[in-house]
């Protein structure tokens, strides 16, 4: 069999075995191996490493796409210098991802504009990108509407089961929009089903003392809080609004630029 025939047969086998990275690099790597007098095992290790790396990249891309995270809210785009010292220390530990393994919840509280959503999404992105964690993002308003539709169509348990495959479920802006009692009932059902089975990652501009306005009932409110805080990490962003700070800087620069 000629060199050309060997190459053609090898390409066909690699296609059939679904090894696109090896198919793309085996010739170049073979030339490198010959030049460096690498053993057959070293050559095989190099091409298989390329395949594994490409598969991992593809998996991360798929996980990020499925997560529906707003990718512009990354850690690189977040000003971590604004964080209180305690939160900075907590952030380093959270990025290790152990809280997901322990099924702990992550609750971020703070004033509007403090960067709660951005910080939470940034943490989630890092965990997906560096550890291939399965995380799902949704605003509280949109999640509740999806739960209501599922309940109407008798698919609520199926939807909750589908969400259970994610080790972390993000519920962004809890309490930002006031919901009806029926809406809060389906949300409570979700929280109760995820209790000690998967992590809830949540942001809210309302302290627990005002959550009765969310769940409409003292008993339901107490039960929801109890499930969330039993195993949890709480971050408090008691810092000025980032948007207000940026707006002030813009006004100040415009004022400085005006002729006196």
| Same-domain status, 56 and 135 | no
My answer on whether 121 and 38 are in the same domain is: no
Boundary residue ending a domain (35, 66, 97): 66
Residues 131 and 205 occupy one common structural domain = yes
Range of the domain at 54: 3-66
Higher pLDDT, 24 or 166: 166
Domain-embedded: residue 257: no
Phi then psi for 20, rounded to 5 degrees?
-65, -35
Q: Which tens digit of pLDDT belongs to each residue from 18-30?
A: 888 888 888 888 8
pLDDT, tens digit (0-9, with 9 covering 90-100), for 81-118: 989 999 999 999 999 999 999 999 999 999 888 899 99
197 in the same domain as 101? yes
| Per-residue burial over 59-79, b = 16 or more CB atoms within 10 Å of its CB, e = otherwise | eeeebbeebebeeebebeebe
User: Is residue 119 domain-shared with residue 197, that is, in the same domain?
Assistant: yes
C-beta separation of 143 from 193 below 8 A:
no
What average pLDDT does the segment 237-254 reach?
Answer: 64
Q: Are residues 139 and 22 in the same domain?
A: no
Regarding whether 112 and 32 lie in a shared domain, the answer is: no
Are residues 196 and 166 part of one domain?
A: yes
**CA–CA dist 101, 10 (Å, integer):** 42
Statement to judge: residues 206 and 150 lie in one domain? yes
* Residue 256 counted as domain residue: no
Average pLDDT of span 140-146 = 94
Q: Identify the H or E element spanning 108.
A: strand 105-110
User: Is residue 259 domain-resident?
Assistant: no
pTM of structure: 0.83
Considering the domain architecture, whether residues 176 and 215 belong to the same structural domain is answered as yes
Q: What are phi and psi of 201, to 5 degrees?
A: -110, 120
Query: What's the structural domain count of the chain?
Result: 2
């Amino acid at each position: 069999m000629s060199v050309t025939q060997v190459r053609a047969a090898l390409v066909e086998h690699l296609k059939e075995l679904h090894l696109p990275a090896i198919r793309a690099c085996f010739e170049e790597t073979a030339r490198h191996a010959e030049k460096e007098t690498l053993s057959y095992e070293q050559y095989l290790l190099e091409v298989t490493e390329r395949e594994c790396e490409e598969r991992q990249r593809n998996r991360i891309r798929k996980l990020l796409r499925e997560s529906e995270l707003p990718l512009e809210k990354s850690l690189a785009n977040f000003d971590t210098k604004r964080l209180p010292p305690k939160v900075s220390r907590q952030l380093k530990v959270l990025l290790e991802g152990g809280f997901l393994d322990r099924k702990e919840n992550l609750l971020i509280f703070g004033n509007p504009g403090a960067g709660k959503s951005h910080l939470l999404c940034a943490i989630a992105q890092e965990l997906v990108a560096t550890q291939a964690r399965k995380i799902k993002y949704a605003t509280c308003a949109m999640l509740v509407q999806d739960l209501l539709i599922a309940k109407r169509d008798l698919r609520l348990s199926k939807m909750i089961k589908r969400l259970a495959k994610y080790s972390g479920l993000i519920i962004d802006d809890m309490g930002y929009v006031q919901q009806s009692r029926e809406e809060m009932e389906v949300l409570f059902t979700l929280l109760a089903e995820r209790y000690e089975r998967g992590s809830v990652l949540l942001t809210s501009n309302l302290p627990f003392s005002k959550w009765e306005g969310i769940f409409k009932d003292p008993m339901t409110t107490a039960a929801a809080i109890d499930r969330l805080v039993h195993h949890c990490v709480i971050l408090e962003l008691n810092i000025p609004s980032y948007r207000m700070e940026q707006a002030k800087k813009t006004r100040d620069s415009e004022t400085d630029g005006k002729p006196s």
